[in-house]
């Protein structure tokens, strides 16, 4: 899955997946009860762990949640986003610096 901001694939971590929902109900009118069906498509929210882009949108019913990047792949970047508001940078001496972004 490609990040819409940095256009890299393989760094998307899906935070929330909401499957498609169908709800059936009846509405009452002067001519009686009329059946109605509402369909809400599946949706996701996700974080690009490479550039920190946070996004959400609806997806196809057959959407498959991508495998999130491995810790090793993230470390290789030197800088990555473990969470939506948290950025980690590995310094030259090997220590990690954590920066927080206001939500
Ligand atoms: Zn990105």
- Convert the pLDDT of each residue in 25-72 to its tens digit: 999 999 999 999 999 999 999 999 999 999 999 999 889 999 999 999
The domain segmentation of the chain, as residue ranges, is 12-100
Instruction: Tell me whether residue 74 is exposed, middle or buried, using C-beta atoms within 10 angstroms of its C-beta: 0 to 12, 13 to 18, 19 or more.
Output: buried
CA of 66 to the centre of ligand 1 (A): 14
CA of 9 to the centre of ligand 1 (A): 8
CA of 6 to the centre of ligand 1 (A): 4
CA angle 18, 19, 20 (to 5 degrees): 120
The pair of structure tokens assigned to 6 is 């940095």
Single out the residue of 25, 46, 21 nearest to residue 34, CA to CA: 25
Does the reported pTM lie above 0.85?
no
CA of 5 to the centre of ligand 1 (A): 5
CA of 36 to the centre of ligand 1 (A): 40
Question: Where residue 103 falls among pLDDT bands split at 50, 70, 90?
Answer: low
């Amino acid at each position: 899955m490609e990040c819409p901001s940095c256009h890299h694939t393989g760094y998307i971590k899906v935070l929330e997946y909401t499957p498609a929902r169908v709800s059936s109900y009846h509405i009452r009118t002067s001519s009686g009860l009329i059946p109605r069906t509402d369909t809400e498509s599946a949706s996701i929210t996700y974080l690009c762990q490479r550039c920190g882009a946070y996004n959400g949108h609806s997806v196809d019913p057959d959407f498959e949640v991508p495998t999130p990047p491995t810790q090793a792949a993230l470390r290789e970047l030197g800088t990555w986003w473990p969470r939506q508001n948290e950025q980690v940078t590995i310094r030259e001496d090997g220590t990690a610096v954590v920066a927080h972004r206001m939500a």
